[in-house]
Structures are given as C-alpha cells and as structure tokens.
Chains A and B, each alone.
Chain A
Amino acid sequence: MTAKPLIQARDLRVSFQLPAQGALPWARPRLLHAVGGVDFTLMPGETLGIVGESGSGKSTLARALIGLVPATGQAIWQDGTDLIGLSARRMLKYRSQIQMVFQDPLASLNPRMTVGQIIAEPLTTHHKGLGRDEVKVRVKDMMDRVGLLPNQINRYPHEFSGGQCQRIGIARALIVQPKLVICDEPVSALDVSIQAQVINLLDELQRDLGLALIFIAHDLSVVKHISDRVLVMYLGRVMELAESQALYAEPRHPYTQALLSAVPIPDPQLERDKRMIPLRGELPSPMSPPSGCVFRTRCPRAEALCASERPALGSGAHLTACHFPGALRPEELAIKA
C-alpha cells in the first residue's frame, strides 16, 4: 500500500508539571513524563490497538492527539499539517476529523441533555449552517445506524443501559463523519456480552465508513480481535509495535511476553500447563523513570547494557525496543521468579 499515512506521530511527548508539595510558588515544578517519545504511523482505514498496564500513558497519548493535553513533538495529519501546538482556531477544522469515544459510557454524556442534543452537538459545532430539521434527520439516521431506536431521541442518558450509552457515544463521534476515531477503553466498563456487541458494531461501522481506529484497551483478547496492528506501551514508551497476528504469535519483547502470559485461556487443561511469566514489583514512578530501558527494573533478562543505553525501536514491520529480543528461556524464568 502506497497511500499516505493518515496520521504520523514522531517523538510525541507529554509532560505534566507537578508543583512539589509545600514548595514555594517560584520553585521549579517537577516534571511527570506521561508519554516519553512515541512514534507510530496510522494508515487510513487501519486499526491500531494500544495496550499496556494502568499508568502506561495510553489515555494520555490519545488525549495528546486530539489536543486535550499539551504535547510536544509532531503528529502529522494526512494533509501535512502538524496537529501539535495548533491554535484552537486552526485545530477546529481537524476536530471534526478526529473524534473520540470515552471509557465511562454514562459519565461521557451530559445528564441534563437529551440524547438528540448530545449526538447533535458535534454537528452543530462544525456545520453551523444546518437547519433544525436537517440536524434531527441526521441524528435519527445515526441512531438507527448504531442500533438505537430513533424514536428515543428525547430521552435522557440515565434512561439507557451502559451498552446503549456507549452506542450514543459512538453515534456522537460518527455524526461528523470523521476519518479517525480514538476509542479510549470503550468496552472496559461493560459486561462481556455487551462488549462483544459494541466491538462488532465498531468493526462493522469501520468497514462501512472506512474509518481509522485507535483502540486503547487493557484487555488483550479484545485488542487482538479488532486490531490490524498493536502497539505495546510501558511507562510512556513504545515497547513493541507489530502486526496483530505476529505480535500474538511471537512476542519478542519480554514485557509483551509477560503481558500475554497473563491472559487466561478458556480451557482448564491448557490453563494449568501454561507458563506464567511473573513480573515483580510495581510500575516505576514516571517522575523518575529508570535510566536506559524503562522496563529493566522488572525485566527477567536485564543486563548492564539495559541500564546504560536506551534501546531503539528499530525499523521494519515488527518493531521491538529491546537490546535482547526473543522468547524467554525457561532458565531465565526460573532464576528470577
């Protein structure tokens, strides 16, 4: 495929300033590096899954892309514009192209607005010329499309179930016909059966509308189901980025292997024989990330080189940020575990 990438992130960084507790107002604030230099490209119509444990910077990355948190680095849109650091006025044009679906279905809907008003909001923001009736027709079409009864347009969010609320969220994101939808853990708050419905809906809409998706989750099996490529994050950095099939079949980074080994297998026999890769300790503080490879403090294979030098992501189809990639050997697990 020689098409231009839809969005291309280069060295994307997000840091938050934390004023130290009890410090004087002019003291230098401490920096928290939530995202520390992320590179990826996304083709039109592609789905990129982002996985990683809590606090690894997945959601912050998403918020940086739509300009909700200030970031540095570059995120080049299809037409060559860098989205990072655009003024609010110039960003407005791209806001209709990039939409977001949020984690908590109910919390992401204003409780005082009707479903119709909620879904219509992006439309009235970006297409000011539309008449009332036209807006209503489009909202009803979109409700029908995401599997909501269009006659419920005047109901309020609290009258819907979690899955329906998430459908409302999806309808709101799609009404302006975006090219990229960022889904920030869209199914983590839902029951498993509803999860499947919502994911299938997203899958179907993506195929029909040619959307690109960035799908953030901590549920690896969900990501495997929906993604073309998967990006594994740890402490704000990319650990591994590969085609979904390749990554799940043959994970190279020790962190990815540990993450995948924690996925339960719905077969008691296999589950019993499975070898878990235990990770000890906690995620290090992003205030003072470890030198070199950020994962080295918990890696069963860490050596002196890992502390001194930061591994590069490299190039190719299967990218791994590790000095010693490859499957972990049983003796390595035995020593460290």
Chain B
Amino acid sequence: MIDARQMQSLAARLAQPEVKGRSPWADARRRFRRNKAAMVSLVVLILVGLFALLGSQLAAWSNEEMDFSIMGQAALLGAPSWENGHYFGTDDLGRDLFSRTVQGTQVSLMVGLIGAGIAVVVGTLYGATAGYVGGRTDAVMMRMVDVLMSIPYMFVLILLLVIFGRSMSMLFLGIGLISWLDMSRIVRGQTLSLKNREFIEAARATGVPAWRIILRHIVPNLMGVVAVYATLLVPLMILSESFISFLGLGLQEPLTSWGALISEGAGTMNYGTLWQLAFPLFFFCITLFAFFFVGDGLRDALDPKDR
C-alpha cells in the first residue's frame, strides 16, 4: 500500500526544481561503507596519517637531540618508558625512537603517495592515449613500456643511487620512473574495451575532439580500476623504498624511513633492544595491511559487474 505520506514526499520530490542524481561514485561509496574490514583499515590509515602529521607535537624529544644519559647504554636504559619521555625507547645513539618513527612515517608515506601519484597521472594519460589512438602509435608506445619493464629496475635504482649519491629526489625519480609502467598497461587494456562502446562512438560522431573524449569519457570510466590499483601501489612503493633503505642505499642520515629504522632495529635485535625493531615494524605492517584491505574494499565497491 502506498500511503498518503509517501505520495506526498514523491510529489514534493518531483516538483523540486532540480532532482539530485545518485552518481555511480555515490553508489560505490555506500558499498564501501558497508565493508567493515575496509572501513577499519581506513580508520587505521587516518590514524597513521595523523601520527605522521601531529606526532612531533606529542614527542618529548626532538628527532635530532641525543639523550647523552642513555647513549651507549641503550639496552639498559633505553627501553620505552613514560618517565623519561622516550615513549618508544631510544636507539643506540640515544635518539628518541618515537620522534624517529614519526619522521620515518612521514617519509615512507610520502614516498608511497608520490610514487603512486606519479603512476596515476602518467600511467593513466599514457595508457589512455595509447589505447584510444591505437594502431602504430599504440604499438610504439607499448613497446617502449615493454622495454622499460624488461630492465631490472632495482639494479638500475641502486646504480643511480650509487652514482648520483643518495638523496630524496633521486629516490623519487627512480621510483617514479618505474611505477607508472604497470598502470599504463592496465589502463590501456581498459581503454581498448571502452573505446568501442556506443557512448564513445556517439561522442566521435558528434565531433568531440580526441583529447576531450579521453579526458571526459574514457578517464572517468577508468577511475575505478585506477583507484583500486593506486591503493595497492602505495604499499608496493613503500616496500621498495624500505628495501632500498634496508640495503643502506636509501636516505641519507639523519633522514630516516621505516625501512631504515627496521634495518637499524634488526641489526641490534640480538643485544636485547627489541623495541628498536618492534615499533617501526608495527607501523609498517599495519599500514601495509590497511592499504591492502582498503584496496580490496575499493575493488569490491567499484566492481563493474555491480554497476
């Protein structure tokens, strides 16, 4: 039964000057919110983000100070404690591990986000262009990607860091160079399947220029795949940066990252200073887990089958 109240609300809705539409994004958002694991992970990510942004306000010690009373006696005096303000303990040099972890979190997240950002922008435009234009252009562009992919990038990255010195910008350059390759392949494949859909044909028949078809029709329809892949790419970027830092080639001290901290912690774990490994590793793990769960949730929410 339709009651009068319902009818009234329907009438009011139809009489509105402009009814608001429910976009595919809004649908996806609703599905995402129903996914508990993904929502918890999102909260974890936000907390880690806040930790990176505001952690230095909470720290009792700055990341540059050394606590000379602890220096050299880290195993005895450097354990985590509220009294002396070293919440996460100290490292062997007496530096406060809490503010070091904050600094490492900032750097690692930045590496991940910037690497994924480069991949999204460059990979999407490159792949969409290659797929849409097609023919010989596509063949040449994608062979270039194949060639770049066949280079063992970790080796090249290590060489770059050795030859040009270890620096943040070199690290970004190296990671940026390789991160977009996979993305462009995925995007190209999706573009090929979109290209022959009727709405693209309709736009072509009307005479919409190619660049506008790519930007207005193809890219928005790719964003689902791109968003999922980008969230999965962030932890991969963090992992490769950590790997480089673990090898001792990443960042120059006193800058640090999760990988560098874990490396230091792992080096001293036999001397009874397990907290030096545990705290960076904890943040590293929960962040990677959270990114993967969020990526998973996004994939379910944006599943093209449900559209």
Give the B-binding residues of A (Cβ under 8 A): 63, 66-68, 88, 91-92, 95-96, 99-100, 102-104, 107-115, 121-122, 125-126, 149, 151-156, 158-159, 169, 172, 176
> Given the complex, which residues of A lie within 8 Å of B6, measured CB to CB?
none
B221–A125 touching, CB < 8 Å: no
Give 8 pairs: A residue, B residue, CB < 8 Å, sorted on A.
A92-B207, A102-B198, A107-B199, A111-B221, A113-B217, A153-B18, A155-B19, A156-B21
B21–A114 touching, CB < 8 Å: yes
A151–B206 touching, CB < 8 Å: no
B208 at the interface (CB under 8 A from A): yes
B64 at the interface (CB under 8 A from A): no
Q: From residue A139, how far is it (CB to closest CB) to chain B in Å?
A: 12
B307–A111 touching, CB < 8 Å: yes
Instruction: Write out, one digit per residue, whether chain B residues 4-45 have a CB within 8 A of any chain A CB (1) or not (0).
Output: 000000000011111111111000000000000000000000
B20–A154 touching, CB < 8 Å: yes
* Closest Cβ neighbor of A102 among chain B residues: B198
Q: Which of B15, B205, B208, B216 contacts A100 (CB 8 A)?
A: B205
A107–B207 touching, CB < 8 Å: no
B206–A122 touching, CB < 8 Å: yes
* Closest Cβ neighbor of B13 among chain A residues: A151
User: When A and B form their complex, which 9 residue pairs have the shortest distance between CB atoms, in order from nearest?
Assistant: A155-B21, A95-B207, A108-B198, A112-B220, A122-B206, A107-B198, A110-B199, A154-B21, A102-B198
* Closest Cβ neighbor of B17 among chain A residues: A151
B198–A112 touching, CB < 8 Å: no
A111–B24 touching, CB < 8 Å: yes
> Given the complex, which residues of B lie within 8 Å of A155, measured CB to CB?
19, 21-22
Q: A169 vs B197: C-alpha distance in the bound complex, in angstroms?
A: 14
Q: From residue B238, how far is it (CB to closest CB) to chain A in Å?
A: 31
B203 at the interface (CB under 8 A from A): yes
* Closest Cβ neighbor of A169 among chain B residues: B202
B143 at the interface (CB under 8 A from A): no
Chain B facing A: main interface SS: helix
> Given the complex, which residues of A lie within 8 Å of B21, measured CB to CB?
114-115, 152, 154-156, 159
B221–A68 touching, CB < 8 Å: no
A152–B221 touching, CB < 8 Å: no
A125–B206 touching, CB < 8 Å: yes
Q: From residue B221, how far is it (CB to closest CB) to chain A in Å?
A: 6
> Given the complex, which residues of A lie within 8 Å of B203, measured CB to CB?
110, 121
Q: A66 vs B206: C-alpha distance in the bound complex, in angstroms?
A: 9
Q: Given A91-B207, A92-B207, A151-B14, do A156 and B19 touch, yes or no (CB 8 Å)?
A: no
Q: A158 vs B199: C-alpha distance in the bound complex, in angstroms?
A: 14
A107–B24 touching, CB < 8 Å: no
Question: For chains A and B in complex, what number of residue pairs have CB atoms within 8 angstroms?
Answer: 89
B206–A108 touching, CB < 8 Å: no
B201 at the interface (CB under 8 A from A): yes
> Given the complex, which residues of A lie within 8 Å of B208, measured CB to CB?
121, 125
Q: A310 vs B218: C-alpha distance in the bound complex, in angstroms?
A: 45
* Closest Cβ neighbor of B15 among chain A residues: A151
Q: A100 vs B207: C-alpha distance in the bound complex, in angstroms?
A: 12
Q: From residue A176, how far is it (CB to closest CB) to chain B in Å?
A: 8
A154–B199 touching, CB < 8 Å: no
Q: Given A111-B24, A151-B14, do A99 and B206 touch, yes or no (CB 8 Å)?
A: yes
* Closest Cβ neighbor of A66 among chain B residues: B205
B22–A149 touching, CB < 8 Å: no
> Given the complex, which residues of A lie within 8 Å of B307, measured CB to CB?
111, 158
Q: From residue B9, how far is it (CB to closest CB) to chain A in Å?
A: 15
> Given the complex, which residues of A lie within 8 Å of B207, measured CB to CB?
88, 91-92, 95-96, 125-126
> Given the complex, which residues of A lie within 8 Å of B221, measured CB to CB?
110-112
A100–B14 touching, CB < 8 Å: no
Q: Given A111-B307, A126-B207, do A100 and B22 touch, yes or no (CB 8 Å)?
A: no
A100–B202 touching, CB < 8 Å: yes
A107–B205 touching, CB < 8 Å: no
Could you say which of A99, A103, A115, A121 has the most chain B C-beta atoms within 10 Å of its C-beta?
A: A121
B217–A110 touching, CB < 8 Å: yes
> Given the complex, which residues of B lie within 8 Å of A109, measured CB to CB?
199
Q: Which of A114, A126, A172 contacts B202 (CB 8 A)?
A: A172
Q: A113 vs B223: C-alpha distance in the bound complex, in angstroms?
A: 13
Q: A268 vs B190: C-alpha distance in the bound complex, in angstroms?
A: 50
Q: A111 vs B306: C-alpha distance in the bound complex, in angstroms?
A: 13
Q: From residue A288, how far is it (CB to closest CB) to chain B in Å?
A: 26
Q: From residue B261, how far is it (CB to closest CB) to chain A in Å?
A: 42
